[in-house]
Structure 1
Amino acid sequence: MQFRLLQNDTWPKALLLVVLGFFLPAQGFCQEPLRTSQGLFIPTGSLGTLLPEDCEVARVGSPIPAPQYPLLGKWTNTDSGVWFHPTGRLLPEATYVLYHAGQAAWKFPPIGTTARTAKVTIYPQVEEVPQNLLKITLVFSEPMREGVAFEHLHWEDAQGNPLPLPFLDLSPELWNRSNTQLTLWLDPGRIKRGLAPNETQGVPLAEGVEYVLNVSDTWPTRRSSRLAQGAYIRWKVGAPDREKPTPEDWSAEVPKGPEASLAIDFHEPMAYAVLQDVVLVRRHDGGDWLSVPGTFHISPDNRQISFLPSEPWAPGTYEVLVYPRLEDLSGNNLYKLFDVDLDSEEEEEAAPWLTTFVVKE
């Protein structure tokens, strides 16, 4: 399938959302088109419906107006989107515009002009993880391109030798709504005893062994930049954790002033991906309990979570609830263990953990 790459010196200001003939990803989120040294990439669902024969790519600043002297190129479908590989090379210093039916649909800036500011943090930030670790979370400072995680993750032993990625290959990947947080599952079928993958392949992590997870700085952002720098973390693998979290060991530090934070200490690392969704702070207002808006912050080792309200604490009675689906690093919650006998997976009754405090006048 051949398409034309045109040179042009105009950039119409009208922006037309166009589709590449694909449905939106299952998550309902779209990525932005991306320019690389190899060509132009338009992710599935990033633009609206378009007719390929009406597509053109033009270079801004060319002395030759479109549609004269078009450059030929080839479009290639992939699982995550469509690539345009020009017959001739794209000029690194030039800006290119994607047109559909004569209207501008996307602008590709010159390579290297988009500042690389995105950062990534890997959780949990602990020295030792349980042998049945279930989830790892990557938190980015800006929206990232989805569908390419395994291309930019590297799993190694303590000597730096590459190992196969231990993560479950999910499509779509488990991003949050803003594409700034990605949850990686270690293969549950290999972790859970009694399942065929566990018996044939063994567990993903070996007790007593050290592993290193590397995140490459080649990971592209949605705005066609990349990570400012990569990141890595080293974990030593300890014994498996097959016990539920113990709420009786949890403690809360109530705010000491109207603009101070509330803090909860779980005394063990919890799953980052779940922790931020299971804590509720509410205030008694007459006969009703009203949720208090604010911001949560999770400690690097996932042992504590703090809460700062959007407005100073008003006088009154407050409750802090932690719901039973909170998980530890091995996926155990207050209802049940993650790794249990398949014949006895009934959930036990569990109530939210609750603490109360009063803010005085």
Structure 2
Amino acid sequence: MRLITTLFFIMTLELSSQSPKFSFSRTAIEVVSDVSQSVIKVYKGTFKNSQEINNRKSIIGNINRQGNRFTFSPLLPFQVETNYTVVFNNMYYEFSIPLESNYKILSVKNLYPNSSELPSNLLKWYVEFSKPVNPTNIYDHIFLIDNKTQKKVDRALLPLETPLLSNDGKLLTIWVEPGRQKRDLGPNKRLGKVLEIGESYTLKIDGNLKDAKGIPMKSDFRFTFKVSEADRTQPNINNWKFDLPKANTKNALIIHLNDILDYGSLTHNLTVFDNDNKHIEGVFTIDSNNKKVMFSPINQWKSKTYILKCNKLIEDVAGNNLERLFDRDVQKENLAPTLERSFSIN
């Protein structure tokens, strides 16, 4: 006797008085049966007979028996909204664990940079997700599309073996193939640069990319931009403009950048001190897409002079940092960069 029935999360089904009872959760399958000896096997997918599961590997798990109750515990929890087939006593049963009605689906919260025009020597993007993402094969879901041909650009993005994710799993770094973006390297000579000036491209993240619980985004994310001339100018903090707060307030210091700088390199690379070299505690808010950084102090500003100190590794979206150009003449001597700006609060 071979039967197939769809069963749902935390539901129990009894097919007939001779058939076993099944109950399911993400972490276990329980079977109540009077069969003296039997084995539970679980397969990912929907199958109706032994021919269909021939040569397929069953899910790894542990089987425990207490009286007439058999329990199968998978090594990893069952994925939500995925079909599985249980084989028990030569009978086949399909089940699927539904998604909670109030579950918040993964989405892209922000992208840096997201300007409508980006330089042809763009080096990387940062994708901020609404929740932690699953790092497994993550780059298989991210593409650069040539809008003229509507085809994927080969070797455009660097598929790292270990994805560059923040500690909380929400911020992903995507590198545009550096070997193609930097002149005179082998990939650049053989394949040319990734982005052609004047052309239009779309960064696509497909809806199959999953969150840390294995639930996909379901809808694609697309960002379309046009390519401008290469940026081969170093950023210079002397060109930044400050909106100064008043003394005896906790209002934010607003720093207007003269360029769209690299989001990641700005993070944790700015500090504020007073003229006695005392570190001023506070929070930096990076809004690189709008060419702006804000510093909110924990304590009130005093009427005195302060110093903004910058790490030399702060760079623009083409990889040019405060110390040197990304794509440079290595024989040319670099000038010492400006790494500090003073400002007075009144």
Tell me whether the two structures share a fold, i.e. TM-score over 0.5. Answer: yes
* Contact map agreement 1:335 1:347 (CA 8 A) in 2: yes
Give the whole-Å Cα distance in 1 for the aligned partners of 2:33 and 2:249.
Answer: 65
**2:252 corresponds to:** 261
Alignment match, 2:336: 349
Contact 1:71 1:88 in 2 (8 A): no
CA distance in 1 between counterparts of 2:34 and 2:175 reads 51
Q: 2:286, 2:294 within 8 Å by CA — same for their partners in 1?
A: yes
Quick check: 1:8–1:66 contact (8 Å CA) kept in 2? no
Instruction: For 1:352, give the aligned amino acid.
Output: L
Aligned to 1:72: 41
Query: Residue in 2 aligned with 1:313?
Result: 300
Alignment correspondent of 2:13:
none
Pairwise CA distance, 1:186: 1.0
**2:312 match:** 324
Alignment of 1:102-251 (within 5 A): 107-108=77-78, 110-111=80-81, 112-114=98-100, 115-120=103-108, 121-159=110-148, 161-165=150-154, 166-227=156-217, 229-251=219-241
Aligned to 1:58: 28
2-structure distance, mates of 1:178, 1:124 = 20
Summarize deviations over 1:237-282 as a string: whole Å, max 9, x none. Answer: 1111111112221112123473422211111111112122321134
Report the Cα offset of residue 201 of structure 1: 0.7
CA contact (8 A) 2:113 2:288 kept: no
Rate the CA distance shift 1:323–1:110 in 2: closer, same or farther, 3 A: closer
| Structure-2 separation of matches of 1:148 and 1:207 | 31
1:140–1:122 distance in 2 versus 1, CA, 3 Å: same
1:335 has 2:342 as partner? no
CA distance in structure 2 between the aligned counterparts of 1:197 and 1:106, rounded to whole angstroms: 41
- The residue number in structure 1 matching 2:54 is none
> Are positions 1:252 and 2:242 aligned together?
yes
| Structure-1-length-normalised TM-score | 0.68
Give the aligned residue type for 2:204: N
Superposed structure 1 runs of 4+ greater than 6 Å apart: 65-68, 101-105
**Residue 104 to residue 187, structure 1, CA distance change in 2 (3 Å):** closer
Distance 1:254 1:199, change over 3 A: same
On the 8 A contact 1:118/1:140 being kept in 2, the answer is yes
Residues 108 and 87 (structure 1), Cα distance of their counterparts in 2 relative to 1, 3 Å cut = closer
Q: CA deviation at 1:300?
A: 3.0
**Alignment-derived partner of residue 45 in structure 1:** none
Name the SS for the 1:300 alignment partner.
helix
Cα 1:196/1:109, change in 2 over 3 Å: closer
Quote the RMSD (CA, aligned, Å). 3.3
Supply the distance in 2 between the matched residues of 1:283 and 1:101 (Cα, whole angstroms): 65
SS in 1 for 2:328: coil
Counterpart AA for 1:216: D
1:15-72, CA deviations, whole angstroms, 9 ceiling, x for partnerless residues?
xxxxxxxxxxxxxxxxxxxx8xxxxxxxxxxxxxxxxxxxxx7325x44599964333
Per-residue deviation, 1:288: 5.0
Q: Is the 8 A contact 1:138 1:181 kept in 2?
A: yes
2:307/2:340 contact within 8 Å kept? no
The worse-fitting range, judged by mean Cα deviation, of 215-224 and 98-107 is 98-107
| TM-superposition CA deviations, 1:48-100 (whole Å, max 9, x none) | xxxxxxxxx7325x445999643335xxxxxxxxxx746858xxxxxxx9866
Question: Which amino acid in 1 is paired with 2:130?
Answer: S
Query: Please, which runs of 5 or more residues in structure 1 have no aligned partner?
Result: 1-6, 12-34, 36-56, 74-83, 90-96
Decide whether the 8 Å contact of 1:283 with 1:290 is kept in 2: yes
Comparing 344-353 and 207-216, the one that deviates more: 344-353
Change in Cα spacing, 1:300 to 1:245, as seen in structure 2 (3 Å) is: closer
Kept in 1: contact 2:263–2:286 (CA 8 A): no
Answer whether contact 1:154 1:162 (CA < 8 A) is retained.
Answer: no
Contact 1:119 1:140 in 2 (8 A): yes
- Displacement of 1:101 in angstroms is 8.6
Shift of residue 123, structure 1, vs aligned partner: 1.7
Q: Which runs of 5+ in 2 are unaligned?
A: 1-20, 49-58, 65-72, 82-97
Q: Is contact 1:8–1:64 with CA below 8 Å preserved after alignment?
A: no
Which letter does structure 2 place at the counterpart of 1:265? H
Cα displacement (A) at 1:158? 2.4
Deviation per CA, 1:129-184, whole angstroms, max 9, x where unpaired?
A: 11111111111121111132222213222257122351122111111111111111
Structure 1 residues 161 and 108 mapped into 2: Cα distance closer, same or farther (>3 Å)?
A: same
1:280 maps to amino acid: T
Count of residue correspondences:
286
The yes-or-no answer on 1:272 pairing with 2:263 is yes
- Secondary structure of the residue that 1:289 maps to in structure 2? coil
